[in-house]
Amino acid sequence: MPHEALAAAFGVDRSTVTRAIGQVRPLLARRGYARPTGIRLHTLADVFAYAAAEGVTLRLDATEIRVRRPRVGRPGRKAFVSGKVKQNTIKSTVVSDEYGSTLWCGGHRPGRMHDTTAARVEGIDALLDAYPQVTVLVDAGYQGLAKAHPGQVVAPPLKLRPGAPPARQTAWEAERKQQSSQRIPVEHAIAELKWWRQLQRFTGRVPYTKPLGRADQILRTVRSALRRDVLQIDGPHPIPTPDGTGLGKPLKLLTTPERSNVPIFLAALGEKTVRLAASQADGWMPIFFIPEYAGKVWGEPLRAGSRERDSTLEPLQVVAGGALAIGEETSGLLDQLRSTFALYIGGMGARGKNFYFDLACRYGYESEAIKIQDLYLAGHKHEAERLVPMDFLERTSLVGPRSHVAERVAAYGEAGVTILEVTPIAGDPVRQVEQLRAIVDG
């Protein structure tokens, strides 16, 4: 993407973006996301599949970056106060290999979020279940993850009680140092990521208010910038921004983009944002998609958005899918998904502000969702996981014999899905995708 477009998106000067990219480009060239040459790791699931296939021991850690204190009245303001550094921070989870190469970096989370919770939010807990042969080295902040996956997640030894025999203290110290030396490459990966600080001070400035209006403007702004229009936007999120010296003026790209129609997909669940996706975006990416219920839940906003859709846009692409495992011996595999579903339904947001909880209720699982949320927020996560309806798991996945998966693929197609997005959870992931391709093409 041209530097001018990035500058407009982040609300910074073009020179700031250029300097930042100048720092990042050599890092990516030297510490790329491919190992060995030719393999491209695009998702966290790709990283685990690669580690399982190649016998790579992963290193996992979280890093925090200071941000400006969110303004008074912002929802969740206190969540940014880190218990570790006692300052306002954002947190990202990082995965590396034994060479310190950054294999994956997660999204920004509030600094107060515990490292283990952040890892579970990113889906690492579920992937550990899906790839039991993968070993992950972690620090003491992940003792909960290590307890849930003994022998697979390796944390430093627990501290000894006061008065332990000298021989035991010596053995403990040696074990701690050995684990630390094996885990240290992830610290090198984090250090390199922190070299990119040009945009750091701007992170966290935008409050999460009026998300529909902001998403609408982002869509229009990016498309306008790529057309080389002069960017002058009025409204609640004006461009140029009123902040600063007041000398800013509307600009357009100096260079001609290779493509003026870069596809933009929206991940949306609410009726208004789904309608926005159907009217303005190139694609829509729902989560926990049940083909049989899609018309009841999203039919009206999709139809309304389609009526408003610009005639210059191609037909809306719908991206959905779920866990993938094709075979006769798939019993018990869906239970691997319970922790993820319980986390999203029960823990991804406060009461009344959880989009995934609302979706489960709209699907007809309201009584189960209420119990899951009550248990999860009370700290009874395993009890919450057991209450996730098996029907919910089955309808949102492609797991079972070939004939069953073929029926599910047909159901997705009838519901309007144009692109299947899947996560293999058993067997050879490449082989699983090949079998799915044969079903789709057949």
Q: Are residues 287 and 428 in the same domain?
A: yes
Q: Are residues 430 and 303 in the same domain?
A: yes
Q: Which residue has the tokens 């067997």?
A: 427
Q: Between 358 and 72, where is the model more confident?
A: 358
For 395-419, how does the pLDDT look when each residue is reduced to its tens digit (9 = 90+)? 999 999 999 999 999 999 999 999 9
pTM for this prediction: 0.56
Place of tokens 């972690």: 138
Residues 289 and 397 in one domain: yes
Q: Residue 101: what residue type?
A: S
Q: How crowded is the C-beta side of 315, counted as CA atoms within 13 Å?
A: 6
pLDDT score of 7 more than 70: no
* Final residue of a structural domain among 173, 202, 231: 202
Length of the chain: 442
Residue 342 domain flag: yes
Q: What is the domain extent for residue 132? A: 31-202
Q: What is the pLDDT of residues 355-393, one digit of tens each?
A: 999 999 999 999 999 999 999 988 898 999 999 999 999
Residue labelled with tokens 């306008």: 224
Helix axis angle, 355-363 relative to 291-308, nearest 10°?
Answer: 110
Q: Note the pLDDT of residue 26.
A: 62
State the chain's maximal CA–CA distance in angstroms: 78
Residue with tokens 């790529």: 226
Task: Write the pLDDT tens digit of every residue in 251-282.
Answer: 888 877 777 788 999 999 999 999 999 999 99
Instruction: Return the number of other C-beta atoms located less than 10 Å from residue 117's C-beta.
Output: 17
pLDDT at 32 over 50: no
CATH code of the domain in which 417 resides: 3.20.20.30
Q: What is the pLDDT of residue 419?
A: 95
Domain membership of residue 319 (yes or no) is yes
User: Which structure tokens are listed for 250?
Assistant: 């509307």
| CA 283 – CA 264 distance, rounded (Å) | 6
Predicted pLDDT of residue 177? 83
Residue 54 lies in a domain: yes
- Residue 76 pLDDT class (50, 70, 90 cuts): low
- Assigned domain for 163 exists: yes
Q: Which helix (H) or strand (E) holds 434?
A: helix 429-441
| pLDDT at residue 165 is higher than 70 | yes
Q: Which of 168, 202, 236 lies at the terminal end of a domain, its last residue?
A: 202
Q: What is the mean pLDDT of residues 68-86?
A: 68
**Tokens representing 363?**
């699907």
Number of domains forming the structure of the chain: 2
Residue 197's alpha-carbon distances to 192, 194, 243, in angstroms, are: 10, 6, 21
pLDDT per residue as tens digits for the range 343-356: 999 988 888 889 99
Region 179-202 average pLDDT: 66
- The DSSP-derived string for 25-86 is HHHHHHS-S-SSTT----SHHHHHHHHHHHTPPEEEEEEEEE-PPPPTT-TTGGGGB-TTTS
In a domain, 156, yes or no: yes
| Residues contacting residue 165 through CB under 8 Å, at least 6 positions apart | none
Domain limit, last residue, from 181, 202, 223:
202
181 and 286 in a common domain = no
Q: What is the pLDDT of residues 218-241, one digit of tens each?
A: 888 888 888 888 888 777 777 777
pLDDT band, residue 215 (cuts 50/70/90): confident
Tens digits of residue pLDDT in 125-145 = 899 999 999 999 999 889 889
